[in-house]
Structure 1
């Protein structure tokens, strides 16, 4: 007679699990990510904006075929991922793209990537201590990057001198910006807090709202409808619903680009405005607002600190530097707006207004015949009441 034997479940293997989403280009991968995914990509010197986009997508791990910090400059992406609790593995090697299929359930433990019982790749787990060490070495190599930056700035100014100096080439939007404040939103680190901070300003001043790439989705998520959307290309567009609601959609294209460069937007029923420039989408939005004579430009999610500025890609660094010089007198960071502008009406303001109004009405009525009659009628009553009060006080004295 055989007895049934209860088998014990196999112990859970250590590590982080999730379906792998694979693409060498991070921009193409971001639109396909879901909560719990493992992002497998090839991104040298990941910047903080890209890291924040991965965090917002809800990934549990990031596997980079190359190094997260090459040492050329102190990029902020790895630090942001580690701070957010995302497991980071780099130097996994280019073979990871051949040995792993998109959607495969994977497990990562101690820098080793498994697909079932198969070892797919071995990399290096990026910890907070490792990030601090490599960032320190990267900062020592900034001198070479600054020399390259000087050259790139000269080249960018040569290419874009008509745009920077005279505003030539900026498309004419249906949205009128002349004499109006403009809020340019980039979906970057801290954009939620900055949008909440300028809510009174947006409600009362009704500025033109410009969303840059997925900054348009950020505006919609915060309850606003973007008037203008500026996109850097058609590979990773904001949601179609947001694009259709915008009054103007501006797409950046290379000079002389064929009409096919905007066909994807046209298939969505959108007639985009072409902006031929090599500037980044963020800088193009600032130049657009400046050329259309905005009275004030408020930047949400912009790169304000020196570390963030240096975190930009080399081509974008010159674009950002020269654009800030151009729009500097009109540009205000959104984090400063709550300190400079307070549109809230407090109770003491209402009480003061009511008292001032009552005094003004009383003064106006007192000079009319009716007002004089009221004063004459009240005078005996007031005099009699005052006399009685004085007599009562005297009677109480010893």
Structure 2
């Protein structure tokens, strides 16, 4: 599959640059990145969600210490940066994190990163549309190996988590009442904003229990909703989300280690620990299903094979089995915003309001009271016109 022709026509960037921001974790970097700054990351197989976060943060340039396309699979992130017109310099090396300090002013010239005096700090590969297309073509050829690995991981997960999947063994005690309710599970994934917006009538009518998976809690807050429960590692959600009053469920490793508990306790909060081998979105679905949710509506969760691989976790195989476990209860809202748009236009509403006003005025005019009110309004309008005339003269 070829890249869009629009990308082919985009010219390579001339000299650009700005203040440098560095972080080995892209999601941490985007929280403090300002428009026009140089984002220096360490992100092999740059995924779509991270790329969209870089675009939303207004990155002027993205410099990656490693290859943004490793060749494992055709990941989606680099093409999103190019579509947004953001230059991408790849594989500049690990030294960039010692040679550049946060706040340094840098200039990007082609595939080189320069200091303010023009000295070369590091250099790499400028990812153009032709370069990216070649890399993705090679990555597509390696998809069969990834499918084999995905299958192996699926079988491993099934062996280790069969009691949880089949009988719900290991699900923690929670105070939130779920039985018989609709549950909306929000992951800050693909198209989550658009799908949440389209689901507003559903949320208003059915009042589902709202579960935010890590950063999905902030997505709910941004949309004007308060999460009832937050599940995850607690490394992607804000303090405001954690302190919103939602019940907190920390996703722990299978051996019981739960790094997220430390952050929760540092805020003076308490949390339930849920050890499960899969992802946090799997934990949310399994928890809701085990406690008798009537319907599960998922926003921003992963669905296709490429999306599973784009998540960058071998454990994404668990999501496949989790979906089999919850079965027909699950309704995936992914892409709803793409196939459904409200057909009500602004001028439709204006016309409706105008027709109502005309009908009201007509009805009043047909009565004695309406006539008296009309005469009074006309008198007041004449007084206003006379006052304005006197004021101007």
Which TM-score band applies after superposition, normalised by the shorter structure? 0.7 to 0.9
Aligned to 1:332: 331
> How far does residue 337 in structure 1 lie from its aligned partner after superposition?
6.4
SS in 2 for 1:245: coil
Cα 1:231–1:146 change in 2 (3 A) is: same
Report whether the alignment pairs 1:271 with 2:270: yes
Aligned to 1:94: 94
The TM-score, its normalising length taken from structure 1, stands at 0.77
Report whether the alignment pairs 1:29 with 2:34: no
Aligned to 1:141: 142
Q: Residues 236-251 of structure 1: matches in 2 within 5 Å?
A: 236-251=235-250
> How far does residue 18 in structure 1 lie from its aligned partner after superposition?
2.2
Which deviates more from structure 2 when the two are superposed, residues 149-158 or residues 18-27?
Answer: 18-27
Which deviates more from structure 2 when the two are superposed, residues 247-256 or residues 99-108?
Answer: 247-256
Aligned to 1:5: none
Aligned to 2:120: 119
> How far does residue 142 in structure 1 lie from its aligned partner after superposition?
1.1
> How far does residue 198 in structure 1 lie from its aligned partner after superposition?
0.5
Which deviates more from structure 2 when the two are superposed, residues 121-130 or residues 271-280?
Answer: 121-130
Which deviates more from structure 2 when the two are superposed, residues 307-316 or residues 213-222?
Answer: 307-316
Q: Is this contact kept in 1: 2:73–2:306, CA < 8 A?
A: no
Cα 1:126–1:146 change in 2 (3 A) is: same
Deviation per CA, 1:367-396, whole angstroms, max 9, x where unpaired? xxxxxxxxxxxxxxxxxxxxxxxxxxxxxx
Q: Is this contact kept in 1: 2:249–2:271, CA < 8 A?
A: yes
Report whether the alignment pairs 1:78 with 2:74: no
Aligned to 1:357: none
Unaligned runs of 5+ in 2: 1-12, 342-393
Q: Is this contact kept in 2: 1:16–1:108, CA < 8 A?
A: yes
Q: Is this contact kept in 1: 2:242–2:264, CA < 8 A?
A: no
Aligned to 1:162: 163
Deviation per CA, 1:122-168, whole angstroms, max 9, x where unpaired? 11111233222211211111111111112111111222222212122
> How far does residue 255 in structure 1 lie from its aligned partner after superposition?
3.4
SS in 2 for 1:293: coil
> How far does residue 259 in structure 1 lie from its aligned partner after superposition?
7.3
Is the radius of gyration larger for structure 1 or structure 2?
1
SS in 2 for 1:165: helix
Aligned to 1:312: 311
Aligned to 1:224: 225
The TM-score, its normalising length taken from structure 2, stands at 0.78
> How far does residue 34 in structure 1 lie from its aligned partner after superposition?
3.1
Aligned counterparts of 1:260 and 1:50: Cα–Cα separation in 2: 22
Aligned counterparts of 1:37 and 1:242: Cα–Cα separation in 2: 27
Aligned to 2:287: 288
Aligned length: 330
> How far does residue 341 in structure 1 lie from its aligned partner after superposition?
11
Aligned to 1:10: none
Aligned counterparts of 2:293 and 2:43: Cα–Cα separation in 1: 37
Aligned counterparts of 2:183 and 2:223: Cα–Cα separation in 1: 17
SS in 2 for 1:176: coil
Aligned to 2:41: 41
Root-mean-square deviation (Å): 2.6
Cα 1:85–1:288 change in 2 (3 A) is: farther
Aligned to 1:298: 297
SS in 1 for 2:243: helix
Aligned counterparts of 2:211 and 2:63: Cα–Cα separation in 1: 34
Report whether the alignment pairs 1:185 with 2:189: no
Cα 1:244–1:139 change in 2 (3 A) is: same
Q: Is this contact kept in 2: 1:113–1:120, CA < 8 A?
A: yes
Cα 1:71–1:191 change in 2 (3 A) is: same
Report whether the alignment pairs 1:206 with 2:216: no
Cα 1:237–1:338 change in 2 (3 A) is: closer
Aligned counterparts of 1:320 and 1:70: Cα–Cα separation in 2: 23
Deviation per CA, 1:52-91, whole angstroms, max 9, x where unpaired? 2222333222111111111111111111222222221111
